[in-house]
Amino acid sequence: MPNPDAIVLPEVNTVEVRLDPVQTFINSMVLINRSEELSGLNPWIYETAAALTEEQMAQHNLVVIGLHYIILPARFWKDIPSYLRHLKNINPVTLRDQLLDFYIRYEPCDLAEDIPDADKDLLLADEDFFLDYLEKKFSSVSIDRAVESIAFELLNDPPEMQRQVASHLKFMWDEHFKDEWKRILPMLEDAVMAFEQVDFKNMSREEIAKYITGTDYYAKFMEVGDGFFIFFDQNYQSPNSMDEHQDNSY
């Protein structure tokens, strides 16, 4: 992901605040993976992590971390079931290439050294090269070689990769997230309505981000392109995310 310290947020003319169900879902899935290392999250995160069997948590880690850039949506989806159907029905090679393209385009930190040139065929051809490439680009601290090794096998079997991704996320939605989403949705919709009443016209993007998240913007937002940013609610730290949009793309 981009270095947040290097992101320059220009002035904005028009702001649209809206709830993004799918980004909320994905963010919550990631927090389940981090439940043992993070404190102060919503109890739903810890309860859900505890409810998963060892095998289910291993699969969750594979899908949400090892195949993370496959499950990130490329556009806004009105609801989670629609996105899950998309994951199930999209061409699996397209889904796989979404992840590989991200790896190739990703700009490593300035300290990264000796990163070899790579294309999709090369990344898929040799497991050791694939793992070493990820470690050099993302740092060895960020990469779990055991998880990425399984991910490598699935990247070479796109239909099975797609089946496992779609099946696990549907399981997490049906068995764990659906009821929580119904519970928290009115609260999130109220928050969106409140933000819609705010005059952001004379604020910089940094000020807007800090106002929405209640903290330094780089800690709680993600740039997704085309003038859109995703903000995560720092207080709830579970099913909650918002988009901020400027009419003039940067």
For residue 223, pLDDT over 80 is answered with no
* DSSP line for 178-218: HHHHHHHHHHHHHHHHHHHTS--TT--HHHHHHHHHSS-GG
Q: Please report, for residues 11, 140, 197, the alpha-carbon distance to residue 117 in angstroms, rounded to integers and kept in the order given.
A: 36, 18, 49
pLDDT per residue over 123-178, tens digit each? 999 999 999 999 888 877 788 999 999 999 999 999 999 999 999 999 999 999 99
pLDDT per residue over 181-209, tens digit each? 999 999 888 888 888 788 777 777 777 77
For residue 52, pLDDT over 70 is answered with yes
Number of residues that make up the chain: 250
Domain ranges across the chain: 8-245
DSSP 117: P
Instruction: Give pTM, 2 decimals.
Output: 0.79
**Taking residues 32-47, what's their average pLDDT?**
91
Whether residue 167 contacts residue 185, with contact meaning beta carbons closer than 8 Å, is answered with: no
